[in-house]
Amino acid sequence: MRQFADAEAHSARAEYHSTVAETDAASDRAPTNRSVGIQPWLNDAPAVLVANPTAHSGRAADWIRKARGLLADAGVPHRFVATEPEGRTIDRVRETIDDGGARVVIYMGGDGTFAEVAKGIFASHHARDVAMGMLPTGTANDQGKSFGLSAGSGALARNVEVIAAGEVVGCDVGRLVIERGDRTIHRDLFFDSFSIGLGAASLETRNRDRERVGRIPGLGAIYRLQRRWVGDDHHGHGQAGRRYAQQLPRLRRQRNTGRRGERSQRDPA
């Protein structure tokens, strides 16, 4: 699990200090770097599992059920909160902490879910007393990899063991403020790293192309399946390649049907 410290970056210069949620103040729950069990962190409130049941074309719903069973078997009381679009997950996480008393929030998903859950923790009034559990099941899973965690549904059992053990390590957090003249034009938190220039432009292009591919009937599903297949052995998707091979004929038929429909619209005769 992770607990956060804060840093701030102003345009080209960086200043390191603790400003978010008074993280420089004393805390009864400091990072341990050793196993102490989950109970001291819970503060007599159940943990909160945050995930998107519609991710991975709906397969994430099965993974969530599996994760909840593993958490229950490991003695981790918890409740489930679904992610919401357009950044509203941040507010839901904040509410579970400030209004619901949660002190352990577990993210399940990719790096985007990690970021929104972490930002929700910082938006609360109790950030320095909250630990975040990690169940990486996304595409890149850079956050999980940086802490040596395996990813995917096949790694859930091991990652739940880490959460149940209550082993907590610190994580630096940066606050990025972009200024133009006397105006602040962008302000955000980042975790582990951020990039500008070529790296950011490449990621923006990838995301734009993925959105375009998703609009083409059948091709978006092929793209998603093939992308998971490439990383099969490294991300816990041991049967993804076989599923892809089994579904490929059907996906090709869908793609061809979509093309015929487009031709019919162009030439009704």
Q: Which helix (H) or strand (E) segment is 172 a member of?
A: strand 169-180
Q: What is the pLDDT of residue 190?
A: 87
Please give the Cα distance from 237 to 150 (Å, whole number): 11
CATH code matching the domain that covers 2-175, chosen among 3.30.1540.10, 3.40.50.10330, 3.40.50.2000, 3.60.150.10: 3.40.50.10330
Q: What is the pTM for the complete model shown?
A: 0.68
**Is 229 a residue whose pLDDT tops 50?**
no
- Higher pLDDT pick, 144 / 237: 144
Q: Using DSSP bridges, classify how beta strands 169-180 and 2-10 pair: parallel, antiparallel or unpaired.
A: parallel
Task: Name the residue ranges covered by the structural domains of the chain.
Answer: 2-175, 198-260
Q: Which helix (H) or strand (E) segment is 169 a member of?
A: strand 169-180
Do 132 and 165 contact (CB within 8 A), yes or no?
no
- Higher pLDDT pick, 252 / 199: 199
pLDDT in tens, 151-185: 999 999 999 999 999 888 888 888 889 899 999 99
What's the token pair of residue 113? 């879910």
Residue whose token pair is 């549904």: 153
